[in-house]
Amino acid sequence: MGSQINKLSKKTWLVTGAAGFIGSHIVEQLLRVGQKVVGLDNFSSGNEKNLENVKQNVGFHYSNFSLVKGDIRSKEICDKVTESVDFVLHQAAYVSVQGSIDNPELTHEVNVNGFQNILHAAKKNNVKRFIFASSSAVKVFESNDDSLVSRQTSPYALSKYMNEKMAETYSSTYNIKTIGLRYFNVYGPRQSLESEYSAVIPSWYKKILNRESPQVFGDGLSTRDFCFVADIARANILAALCDLHMDMHKVYEIATGESKTILQLYDFYRNNFPSSSLAPRPEFVAKREGEIRHSVANIDPAKKDLGYLPKYRIEDGLSATVKWFSENY
């Protein structure tokens, strides 16, 4: 994890969405280095099995973890869980682009109103730093009268853009230090196969288990920056620990800094199955509404300010992911 994290004195951390895919990996990394962690989750998408997996992996360190079952849409809950906390790592959200198009009201309730609740509670309880999950979906530009203007292509992307602006406003108005981390395409162990809106890697695995052809939306030549979940978790901790004399509010892009086409990803994916014959050729279907064509992170600022460097190549990350899926499904 890096010497900065390994030498960390004991602090108290709140992880929202603690039973989720990314949240549970953050909890695990913190517990491994002797930190005290409070988790908040309403289990709308989080899974108790994720926390059971964490418990198995960290052993006696799990005694430093406490779980609050609650919802960020409750101001009272947010006030309670931020008491006596040093850092907040906010992951709880409604995370699907397509789901947000189908249900924009819920997206706003959770991602905007809920975000303000937890941010305001952190301010009220004098939390040292508020780290939150943003998204590469915020970073979409289009040409307008010979200039580039930002454009959000889904209610989900809009909600994350609003999070960044709200955090910036709270920082300048109330002097709370905030850092947004724009995740790109996160994958890894514990990613759900069950969601209607599963990300591409678990949805492919589910298709293959059912002897069906995995779907590729569009022509397969769209590019994405795929980042292993352990790197995302480490970035959150580094963001909380970086120089506290930095700007009150910053946003960083977190991924690998390298893009792959969807078809390249599928080739890597097939190579990680015991027999490539188990992974048939993909089925090409119409591209989804709200999807962007090309996406790659600029991680130079995160390298410079946070000391962030991705540790996992796509080959290594996919190998670990497919192995975990095969052992757990």
**Rounded-to-integer distance, Cα 96 and Cα 238, Å:** 26
Nearest by Cα to 39 from 10, 78, 8, 13: 13
**Rounded-to-integer distance, Cα 98 and Cα 154, Å:** 8
Q: Is 280 exposed, middle or buried (0-12, 13-18, 19+ CB in 10 A)?
A: middle
Which entry of 94, 156, 252, 266 is annotated as an active-site residue? 156
Report residue 150: phi and psi, to 5°: -75, 145
Report residue 55: phi and psi, to 5°: -60, -45
Q: Which amino acid is present at 257?
A: G
Sign of CA dihedral 320, 322, 326, 329: positive
Concerning whether 187 is annotated as a catalytic residue, the answer is no
Number of Cβ atoms within 10 Å of the Cβ of 316: 11
Catalytic annotation, residues: 156
